[in-house]
Amino acid sequence: MNIIIADDDIELCNLLKQYLENENMSVDICHNGQDAVEKISQNEYNLLILDVMMPVLNGFDALSNLRKSSDLPVIMLTAKGEKIDRIVGLEMGADDYVAKPCDPRELVARIRAITRRTHKPITSAVNNEETSLGDIQLSHSTRVVKVSNKVIELTSTEFDFLERLLSNAGNIVTREQLSREVLGKRLQAFDRSIDMHISNLRKKLGERQDGLERIKTIRGNGYQLLK
């Protein structure tokens, strides 16, 4: 479990670091929002603990910045007396809010509560080595897709999209889900990359023999791989 802490209180950082490492977590530290965003883009973390009041780039700005490109779980820290609107933070995509001074034990419990959900293996659905639907055959391990027994070349992301759609074949997969679960980032207002991936996927999959569309658009909602 890799944690990154962003807080300008050096004392507190070290304290938390020590405590968390005792719990078998690996901890990085930085002291302003800027550094946090930077480090996160370079390393793999499982969770960010983010102080609201910080120099250079405060917690809120760092969060909104981060959310453009990442879906990393975030716990926000507020100093006692800070009457900051917790709701804003939660709506911006924070996962939890903890008031300082915080009991490290509670922090650990909250970290576990969040990562319990986040870290969930998707394996149950992908237990089968292969999935197929109609003339589409998809091998999860080799990441090869065949349509009517002919291999089609998909990029990695296109494969992931198809895999995700296939895992819910017949049901709707929302754009939000596709963004979060496949692209690993939050859906932004004018983000069109999903549309492009779907468009390319449709092109590569080609026509269905029965003339039905393969991927149905549910306007304002998402996409649906037709059975």
Binding site for its own copies (CB under 8 A): 73, 86-87, 90-91, 93-96, 103, 105-106, 109-110, 112-114, 116-119, 121-122, 125, 127, 141-143, 155-156, 167-168, 170-172, 177, 180-181, 218-221, 224
Q: Which partner, DNA, its own copies, none, binds residue 199 by CB below 5 to 8 Å per kind?
A: DNA
Q: Is the dihedral of CA 80, 83, 89, 95 positive or negative?
A: positive
Question: Phi and psi for 107 in degrees, rounded to 5?
Answer: -60, -45
- 12 CB-side CA count, 13 A: 19
Treating both helix axes as pointing N-terminal to C-terminal, what angle do 33-42 and 59-66 enclose, rounded to 10 degrees? 30
Q: Which two tokens stand for residue 191?
A: 């983000």
Q: In this structure, are residues 25 and 2 in contact, taking their beta carbons and an 8 Å threshold?
A: yes
The CB-of-10 to its own copies minimum distance in angstroms stands at: 26
Q: Is the dihedral of CA 122, 124, 126, 127 positive or negative?
A: positive
Residue number, 7 or 158, with CB nearest to DNA: 158
- 89 CB-side CA count, 13 A: 24
Q: Which partner, its own copies, DNA, none, binds residue 190 by CB below 5 to 8 Å per kind?
A: DNA
Q: Which partner, its own copies, DNA, none, binds residue 185 by CB below 5 to 8 Å per kind?
A: DNA
The CB-of-55 to its own copies minimum distance in angstroms stands at: 27
The CB-of-70 to DNA minimum distance in angstroms stands at: 11
Residue number, 18 or 221, with CB nearest to DNA: 221
Q: Which partner, DNA, its own copies, none, binds residue 91 by CB below 5 to 8 Å per kind?
A: its own copies
The CB-of-15 to its own copies minimum distance in angstroms stands at: 18
Tell me the C-alpha distance between 20 and 1, whole Å.
10
Sheet (strand 222-225) strand order: 172-174, 222-225, 215-218
Residue number, 32 or 70, with CB nearest to DNA: 70
Q: In this structure, are residues 175 and 182 in contact, taking their beta carbons and an 8 Å threshold?
A: no
Contacting positions for DNA (CB under 7 A): 155-158, 175, 183, 185, 188, 190-193, 195-199, 202-203, 217-222
The CB-of-169 to its own copies minimum distance in angstroms stands at: 9
The CB-of-198 to DNA minimum distance in angstroms stands at: 5
- Under the phi-then-psi rule, with left for phi > 0, alpha for psi from -120 to 50, and beta for the rest, what region is 223? beta
Q: Which two tokens stand for residue 3?
A: 């944690």
Residue number, 78 or 224, with CB nearest to its own copies: 224
Q: Which partner, its own copies, DNA, none, binds residue 192 by CB below 5 to 8 Å per kind?
A: DNA
